């Protein structure tokens, strides 16, 4: 879609991504796409294996494309293929090359990287890495740097994160396409 700006809320587990993505979409009156891996896991059940990486990636892309058709100038994503790359490498040591390539080709205009400096809050999803959030955060940072992505780091309290996120999206929308 021409003129559509893509903003991805990303980072390690339980840092408020889903909540922030939904709030940004509401604030900017546009569509958002939830994390597909959560839906996939709910349907399949644990444990995930390396064989699940490609179906998760395909489902993530399909969800994003469906949300793009509903978006108005801005699309907010609760993760993107970058998360698939990070978690595949973290759990299985590798990620299929087509997913890495697609993550690069589908790179968003802005990534909001949430730091794991907030309390771990169990959200009903099968989260298993409360002790690994800092390490995973570093992996997200590495992949974002490798992609040459525009990144805004979000730290602090929930209200501070929300205010900084809104300011970053306002700045993106005010800039040249």
Spatial separation of the C-alpha atoms in residues 116 and 128, rounded to whole Å: 14
What residue ranges do the domains of the chain occupy? Answer: 5-174
Cβ–Cβ under 8 Å, residues 134 and 31: no
Class of 5-174 in CATH:
alpha beta
Residue 74: predicted pLDDT: 98
Residue 132: predicted pLDDT: 77
State both tokens at 152.
Answer: 């805004």
Three-state secondary-structure class, residue 2: coil
Residue 133: predicted pLDDT: 84
Spatial separation of the C-alpha atoms in residues 57 and 62, rounded to whole Å: 9
Give the global pTM: 0.93
CB atoms within 10 A of CB 59: 17
Contacts of 94 (CB under 8 A, 6+ apart): 50, 88
The tens place of each residue's pLDDT in the chain, 177 residues long, gives 458 999 999 999 889 999 999 999 999 999 999 999 999 998 998 889 999 999 999 999 999 999 999 999 999 999 999 999 999 999 999 999 999 999 999 999 999 999 999 887 765 555 455 677 889 999 999 999 999 999 999 999 999 999 999 999 999 999 987
């Amino acid at each position: 879609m021409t003129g559509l700006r893509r903003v991805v809320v990303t980072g390690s587990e339980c840092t408020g991504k889903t909540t922030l993505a939904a709030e940004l979409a509401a604030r900017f009156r546009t569509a958002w796409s939830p994390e597909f891996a959560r839906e996939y896991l709910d349907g399949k059940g644990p444990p995930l294996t390396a064989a699940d990486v490609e179906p998760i990636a395909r489902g993530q892309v399909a969800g994003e494309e469906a949300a793009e058709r509903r978006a108005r100038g801005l699309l907010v994503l609760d993760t993107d293929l970058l998360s698939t790359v990070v978690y595949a490498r973290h759990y299985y040591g590798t990620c299929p090359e087509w997913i890495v390539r697609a993550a690069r080709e589908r790179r968003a205009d802005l990534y909001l990287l949430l730091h794991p400096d907030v309390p771990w809050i169990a959200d009903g999803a099968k989260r298993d890495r409360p002790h690994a959030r800092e390490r995973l955060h570093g992996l997200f940072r590495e992949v974002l740097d490798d992609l040459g992505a525009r990144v805004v780091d979000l730290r602090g309290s929930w209200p501070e994160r929300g205010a900084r996120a809104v300011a970053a999206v306002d700045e993106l929308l005010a800039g040249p396409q």
